[in-house]
Structure 1
């Protein structure tokens, strides 16, 4: 009996092994089949994307083609999702793990089969309806583009007379001065008029063209994006030399391009000519025109004017011509814009003064128009047919009116023409901006990191992907598609905005393309469709009608409603690449992020909410986010990073800083002794949940909870684990608390060779600080370094352990006690920004130090920031030959008992700012030096000048008065 049972068991085991082996073989076969299909649909995706690029310019004129393009686009989105799923669940796993993930593999296999079936149907649909023909598309694209250009020019031309007396007189005089038309000799000079579409570049240039004299011949040539070279040359000859000259040249002859070009150059050689090239779009056209139409040896004082939307193109046009210039045409002044709008609507300033409602809506419309003449005149044309009481309604409907109102067609085309002319890699980058609200200031790093996470930035060998992304931003700015709003000390764009009208058209295009959508105070306004990028403005309340399985980015600008809402890391958002809660108006909780590991596609996570964060730890499941590139948890209560963070090899930016609210922990034992006792004895804070989430006291309750659980120490940095050196792609790392980080991990910081920005909280151990110094010396790519020793008795002594600092360091921020600055600080040749905060808030220092900037040091420094803890310093001295490029000095919470000496040695000084707590003895003496300084700097005072020690000088300075007004 026992033998029979054993035999049966062996038989069953054999069958099980056979079945398992057979299943494994089937699974392996399926896996191989899936990989083949993946390559197939990947190739199909490339073809589809190429088709969509070609169809972009003509689909509006062909409804069948438009519908088909929409279907192709939706299918391409789904293919991208499938490829993403494959990479996360199959391709990135080992073979053994691939065989274990049966559910994921089967799901992906079914998706691929469905996609292949849909691909065949889309292809057959083109055959049935004959939707696309290569030659037809090329012809129609050119025709559509030129037709669009002609419509816009006609619209602009009709506005010349109306804009005649409003806002163009000063620009006209400035351009005429640049042209210097009365010059009798000298090489040809190029003047480029640059600005966005609708700004009036053509109008301005026409006014200049009609005004200048003293030229023997002139021509106005409109350069279409697809101009025919022979026709261009004929038009030039006809305008410059007359109809008869062209007729004689062509009469009965076979004339080639080179014949016309030779004749043109020969005739222009000894003439003083004036030629306008209106609306130039690409550099290749300019190179051909320059080489074939204009004689290089003409020295008669000839002039060439070029209008373009592209700053970089203008720079290239003027590069080879001495004394050439670029004129940046600006929008109308606000008052001129108001006058132009009133003029178009046949209203007067008196009408506006007597009607508050009219004044308010006119102000809004002028702002909405961005003070662009074309926008003002087209909107004004609509308002002119309505009574004033209807103007507000028209204003509110402008975004939708841009899509349907024929009177606004030229304005819409103005934007779409620029959009269609963008290279393919910039189109998605441009449309992505539509998720941000009106007049929103967008930080460059936030935008570029998001572009990268979405796959919009194409990496280049030997160039940082961030630098490539930044070049995209600069390209959009130079093409006048977006507007820079602030710059850093080195002249790089820090933030940008989108023109209101441009944004309205952009939002329309993004919705039409099913690319992005947003809502404002209406959670149901997002239609249930296949959008890839979603922004909530007003209230965060995900629409159940929206297919969240395909959403790639979620951005929240609004509030969380009182009723329960899904977690921001809901598993429903499984394809999410970007989660941005930086501008959310609600507190982010620990519960919100506990399931973040389920969002396997995440590459960008920003949890830095305006209302703060009650997140106190990162879940260990974060290691599943193998594609994560950016993690920003500043403002949270996280004080230690889990070991799993070291497995995220794609991380480029890791920004952690404890919430500023926790600074009050220093005062808990003073102000709340009973509650502190509760925390000391580890008693549960049972009343925490009785506090309303919107009540500020919830922060205090969270602090007590953190103290009770031992997660609220007296520092705002984070402990980084061993293995941090594995994150070879890190570009930014802040804020590392050296005190609680192991020596091995501190040493590993030196392995982060791509690091550009590092912020560190120094520890008490001099040995560990020296290890940090050795690590810093290895970071040869570092641009920005911040060392904070405010609460450490060792101060900044570790600076003296650095013998060879990072050579490219451009920003240095030091906080803490230091007796003498090491020489290497002043010898940093790339240093442009230096901030020094002296002292320790725990140990007020009564010593009277002297800060001396020695000769031949800080040779490229432009901004100096000095601060302290209201401590006295005897004197600030600038020796002759120091900081020759210094522009701004900012002083706060610091008192100079003997004043500031030597600002006359700073030839480029623009501003001295005394902020809160900033004091300078004998301010009147400094005031006099500022008044006579050759660069005319401004002295900015936080407090009234009478509250300062003026010394022997008591009279009020015009410089001080001007500073206070600003």
Structure 2
């Protein structure tokens, strides 16, 4: 009734306003004349006045009624608000309680042999937690979007305000109704939960069910203890290495740690070495102990003594079980004091394990040895505190060894004349299956064993290959494999489990970038803030921990040692996807999945444009928090428009490497959005509504065609990461024009949370922009282009305000533009410096940058050799001198200079004709590149001093130099480079950046 009254009053007031306002008077007059054309003009004014008075009276009556209703409604609303607030706070507390239970419940829900009632109960609990999260986010968004119009006495403004208040109350009443329904649902779940016994979580969030992992009858790890020596494949080299560590070397007590992912064969290798006859003869006594997750040190020591005595044919000391802990340790030490002992602790998970065994293992000068097998590299690292440690990181089987093992398992048959050999018609399919095993021995043995029971035809084998995910969950041959791989996930602290599940979001064999992954974790709220650290630093620590736990494989490392690309083993990914599905973590949409529903899932991965759009459109689940697209699919034009309308609680939108070319204006609906990735898309313009994304933290615009940021971007006060540029790989390289940055209206200074900003075209804002940059005191990375000489002082002053700056990239507007940055206090934390501009001399602050790891100079036109000034930079790892950074003829690397330098690049130095490297200089150098140096016609003879050099590259260099090092043409200088493993010649063959050919030079080292 109230809303209807407001609408009536609003309409009448609008007409009243329309008549009274002077600019609409003629229009009103025309309307009257049209109805009564013969009417005298003077009477028109009389009629208009009457109409106006009538509307005035009607409007006042309506407003009076509305005010009365609003007064009554407000009184009722005060009482409602009290109850609403209590209920809202109540379900927030309920959510925390549910999350605590889910820490224990997740493992039980994911257990294949778990009770069905268990699984159902946990599913209901998780759905309730999702609903609570949705209500909280909807209410937060509702509060944020409340409009408070500027106070105005006008009737229209008042009525608009009243209408909005009613709309807000309706929204809040709807949320209140949902809260009541949730409370009722949770009450029912709690009643049903009385028959379930969920225990509290341990402080680290790990499950209390670890005791179930004791090695007992039927344990999937038991098989590793009974493999015959003739069945061991691919361990020859590590076996020899470990045996040397055991029977040779120092007489000091030492610890050998075998580290690797589950199923890699750590126990098999350790047992293989432990049982070797040479090893048996070397030690007086030996003991092999499997360390359960629920072990006590007391039980471990008693078991160890019992096995040591049995191995040495000696009686077990009496009363071990009755001894107190201290006496027991003394007894063990006394027993081992006169012996050369070997103790193997298999499957260690706890980092502090070395501390616990240290005092029981005497350093008796008789060469005692301890072996531990573990999935966690940190266990091995921690042991160094107490022992001399040798770490052996067990590698996956090579392709040949994997094939050998597979054939032994898949084609074993006493009656077959082809035992151990693959039939020709199954070879292609078998190679595909072996590839999926990824060099993991346990997987090869398990899948090979399964296939040995199948008919030897490609149709049966294709079924196994294509349905491997299903088979992993139900086939008796593969269940143990699944359990072994799951152990590492189950052992994770709770805060890392969601991070690990994220690897299932990405497609199979996908190379996952560290920055992309960790930024998604941050946006999702997985990263717990730690004092004194940025979220990026904490997220990177999470990734390192997953790597050290042998769950994540590193594909590429940067020059500074940081992970650049990573991935997970294909079979581990299959396990993750199963868990992901059970936990409603993410729905992965494949081709021809149009009939699938996405249920209550929180994330959605798009691999097919048409079907994915249909499934999303039909879904009733508005609580999706993240959407990802892969495979360069072409999305429907209305795709983004639809998801912005329907999924208003989104936090992550990732369209990297897709054919998106348009961002709709309703993007501003996504109030909760924290991460928007448009990297390598065809987007050219951002809508003005992007200014409404007030929670946005990452806006990735790399390799897009966005040239101007809308002025509304200044509203994004939480924005932390803004990488935006386009690099022109389609043409010839030009240092100043290869990269195109972005222009911005005034207001960049409002983005006070920015930590990374690159690349900004500063000539658009000039000196005013320099002043605004002073406000960005949290910047860690700054990249600016098109800098003019007159900006130098203002830019220097702005940089001095950036106390956290770690990376600085400055490019001049033209080659002859001098940019001399002068600092009273240089950026002391700078790790990366790219300076592409003419400079009169090498700045005296550069040699003072003790944290600098990368220095790139271009267009500097330095006439004096700068090496003497920078040779003592203590942490410099990469040095690039490009495009006449130095215009002299000779570079001289002196003894002791550049103590940590790993990479050196000398490119397009037009006058350089000689490079001198004294012995003892560049002693850590691994990569050395020469490119486009037309006067350097003789290979530097001092390269032979660089003993650690792994790669030497020549690109577009004089023919004389190339021929002088080529043994196929009788090159006279071949001996200078013959010790280098990889020597490569690169030659451009086209106009585009990537049009080139590579030719390796044969050396003695390759």
In the alignment, which residue of structure 1 is the partner of 2:676?
605
- Aligned pairs for 1:925-964 (under 5 A) are 926=940, 928-936=941-949, 938-942=951-955, 946=959, 948=961, 954-957=972-975, 958-959=978-979, 962-964=982-984
Q: Cα gap change, 1:623/1:564 in structure 2, threshold over 3 Å: closer, same or farther? A: closer
Aligned residues: 892
1:724 aligns with 2:740: no
State which drifts further: 411-420 or 856-865: 856-865
In the alignment, which residue of structure 2 is the partner of 1:58?
108
Q: Cα gap change, 1:382/1:8 in structure 2, threshold over 3 Å: closer, same or farther? A: closer
Contact 2:709–2:742 (8 Å) recurs in 1 = yes
Aligned mates of 1:949, 1:715 — CA distance in 2: 31
In the alignment, which residue of structure 1 is the partner of 2:329?
261
Contact 1:920–1:949 (8 Å) recurs in 2 = no
In the alignment, which residue of structure 2 is the partner of 1:833?
854
Contact 1:763–1:792 (8 Å) recurs in 2 = no
Deviations 1:489-510 (A, max 9, x none): 2212122111111111111110
Aligned mates of 1:290, 1:961 — CA distance in 2: 43
Where do 5+ consecutive residues of structure 1 fail to align? 667-712, 840-846
In the alignment, which residue of structure 2 is the partner of 1:200?
265
1:76 aligns with 2:92: no
Contact 2:889–2:914 (8 Å) recurs in 1 = yes
Q: Cα gap change, 1:444/1:791 in structure 2, threshold over 3 Å: closer, same or farther? A: same
2:661 pairs, out of 589, 605, 628, with: 589
Measured on the aligned residues, the alpha-carbon RMSD in Å equals: 3.6
1:298 aligns with 2:371: no
Contact 2:407–2:421 (8 Å) recurs in 1 = no
1:553 is displaced (CA, Å) by 0.9
2:90 pairs, out of 15, 26, 40, with: 40
SS at match of 1:408: helix
1:110 is displaced (CA, Å) by 2.6
In the alignment, which residue of structure 2 is the partner of 1:773?
796
Q: Cα gap change, 1:140/1:867 in structure 2, threshold over 3 Å: closer, same or farther? A: closer
1:22 aligns with 2:72: yes
In the alignment, which residue of structure 1 is the partner of 2:479?
409
1:397 aligns with 2:467: yes
Contact 2:676–2:699 (8 Å) recurs in 1 = yes
1:593 is displaced (CA, Å) by 3.5
1:635 pairs, out of 676, 694, 703, with: 703
Aligned mates of 1:909, 1:660 — CA distance in 2: 31
SS at match of 1:495: strand
- Aligned pairs for 1:417-432 (under 5 A) are 417-432=487-502
Contact 1:238–1:245 (8 Å) recurs in 2 = no
1:215 aligns with 2:280: no
1:918 is displaced (CA, Å) by 4.7
Contact 2:907–2:930 (8 Å) recurs in 1 = yes
Deviations 1:74-108 (A, max 9, x none): 21122112212222222686988995733432332
1:142 is displaced (CA, Å) by 4.4
Aligned mates of 1:65, 1:814 — CA distance in 2: 62
1:111 is displaced (CA, Å) by 2.3
1:381 pairs, out of 449, 456, 468, with: 449
Contact 1:196–1:479 (8 Å) recurs in 2 = yes
In the alignment, which residue of structure 1 is the partner of 2:890?
875
1:517 is displaced (CA, Å) by 2.2
In the alignment, which residue of structure 1 is the partner of 2:600?
530
Aligned mates of 1:665, 1:922 — CA distance in 2: 23
Aligned mates of 1:64, 1:334 — CA distance in 2: 45
In the alignment, which residue of structure 1 is the partner of 2:14?
none
1:614 pairs, out of 667, 675, 683, with: 683
Contact 1:332–1:371 (8 Å) recurs in 2 = yes
SS at match of 2:244: helix
Aligned mates of 2:768, 2:850 — CA distance in 1: 32
Aligned mates of 1:304, 1:33 — CA distance in 2: 64
1:853 pairs, out of 867, 870, 873, with: 867
SS at match of 2:196: coil
Q: Cα gap change, 1:10/1:785 in structure 2, threshold over 3 Å: closer, same or farther? A: closer
1:332 pairs, out of 397, 402, 408, with: 397
In the alignment, which residue of structure 2 is the partner of 1:250?
319
In the alignment, which residue of structure 1 is the partner of 2:590?
520
Aligned mates of 2:733, 2:564 — CA distance in 1: 34
SS at match of 2:803: coil
Q: Cα gap change, 1:20/1:193 in structure 2, threshold over 3 Å: closer, same or farther? A: same
State which drifts further: 482-491 or 870-879: 870-879
Aligned mates of 1:234, 1:110 — CA distance in 2: 61
Aligned mates of 1:744, 1:858 — CA distance in 2: 35
TM-score, normalisation: structure 1? 0.85
1:350 is displaced (CA, Å) by 9.1
Contact 2:215–2:222 (8 Å) recurs in 1 = no
In the alignment, which residue of structure 1 is the partner of 2:12?
none
SS at match of 2:830: coil
- Aligned pairs for 1:754-769 (under 5 A) are 754-764=778-788, 766-769=789-792
Aligned mates of 2:217, 2:183 — CA distance in 1: 40
In the alignment, which residue of structure 1 is the partner of 2:10?
none
Aligned mates of 1:351, 1:819 — CA distance in 2: 76
Q: Cα gap change, 1:954/1:298 in structure 2, threshold over 3 Å: closer, same or farther? A: closer
Where do 5+ consecutive residues of structure 2 fail to align? 1-49, 150-160, 966-970, 985-999, 1002-1006
Q: Cα gap change, 1:936/1:772 in structure 2, threshold over 3 Å: closer, same or farther? A: closer
1:893 is displaced (CA, Å) by 4.0
SS at match of 2:526: coil
Aligned mates of 2:58, 2:340 — CA distance in 1: 108
In the alignment, which residue of structure 1 is the partner of 2:651?
577
Contact 1:378–1:408 (8 Å) recurs in 2 = yes
Which structure has the larger Rg over C-alpha atoms?
Answer: 2
State which drifts further: 564-573 or 204-213: 564-573
SS at match of 1:922: coil
Aligned mates of 1:40, 1:376 — CA distance in 2: 52
In the alignment, which residue of structure 2 is the partner of 1:122?
189
In the alignment, which residue of structure 2 is the partner of 1:88?
141
Contact 2:912–2:933 (8 Å) recurs in 1 = no
Contact 1:517–1:526 (8 Å) recurs in 2 = no
Deviations 1:420-452 (A, max 9, x none): 110000000000110111121111111111001
Q: Cα gap change, 1:352/1:302 in structure 2, threshold over 3 Å: closer, same or farther? A: closer
In the alignment, which residue of structure 2 is the partner of 1:551?
624
In the alignment, which residue of structure 1 is the partner of 2:294?
226
In the alignment, which residue of structure 1 is the partner of 2:823?
802
Aligned mates of 2:493, 2:377 — CA distance in 1: 16
Aligned mates of 1:833, 1:349 — CA distance in 2: 62
Q: Cα gap change, 1:510/1:354 in structure 2, threshold over 3 Å: closer, same or farther? A: closer
Deviations 1:777-811 (A, max 9, x none): 2212111111111536424x232x23432111111
Q: Cα gap change, 1:892/1:793 in structure 2, threshold over 3 Å: closer, same or farther? A: closer
Aligned mates of 1:659, 1:29 — CA distance in 2: 60
Contact 1:453–1:629 (8 Å) recurs in 2 = yes
TM-score, normalisation: structure 2? 0.82
Aligned mates of 1:731, 1:290 — CA distance in 2: 45
Contact 2:754–2:776 (8 Å) recurs in 1 = yes
Aligned mates of 1:740, 1:472 — CA distance in 2: 40
